[in-house]
Each structure stands twice: as structure tokens, then as C-alpha cells.
Amino acid sequence: MVLEKKPDNEDFVFTHGDYCMANIILLGNKLSGFIDLGRAGVSDRYQDIALAVRSFEHNFGTDKWNDLFYKEYGIEDVDYSKIEFYILLDELF
């Protein structure tokens, strides 16, 4: 099932690897740092995007913040199939 959903194209960047709210440090309303970089490395940018979206939905109980996140990240056309794939892939860890 996971291999069937593997994206055909990848946009490689440096990723956190476990980009979720528990691993983001805020100071006031600004990003101050990250923790738990054990899975950091080069991957498709959607690896971090997918885990951030899952974290927002888990922690806030809603997906209402996702569109704001995509906008601030600079994503105009969200690839929901990549989000689904990277969330599914993360379940294997």
C-alpha cells in the first residue's frame, strides 16, 4: 500500500524529519528553534509539510489552520497525495 502511493516526483530539500509542534520552539509568537533533529536530512519538502499538518490537526482538533500554513509556506497548489503518502510513511517509524 505504501509503495503504491509513492510520489512520482520529489522536491529534495533539507528537512527536519519530524516537523511537529512538539519539536518547534517558539518565543512569543516567533519561531525560536527546533529540537529532535535525529531524522533530519535531505528529503522531499512534503515530508515536513505532512507531519506539520498532522500535528496541527492532532493538537488543535481541526484542519482550519492548514490553509494558513500552506499560504505562509508559499504553497499555492497543495499536493494532498504527497501529504497522505508522507503521513502513511511516518507511521512505519
CB 13 within 8 A of CB 42: yes
User: How many residues does the structure list for the chain?
Assistant: 93
**Residue 34 sits in a domain of what CATH number?**
3.90.1200.10
- The answer to whether position 3 is within a domain reads no
Does residue 18 carry a catalytic annotation? yes
- Residue 63 structural domain: 11-90
Q: Which of 8, 11, 18, 48 is catalytic?
A: 18
Residue 2 lies in a domain: no
pLDDT tens-digit map of 14-23: 999 999 999 9
* pLDDT tens per residue across span 22-77: 999 999 999 999 999 999 999 999 999 999 999 999 999 999 999 999 999 999 99
pTM (predicted TM-score): 0.90
Neighbour-count burial of 84, counting CB atoms closer than 10 A to its CB (0-12 exposed, 13-18 middle, 19+ buried): middle
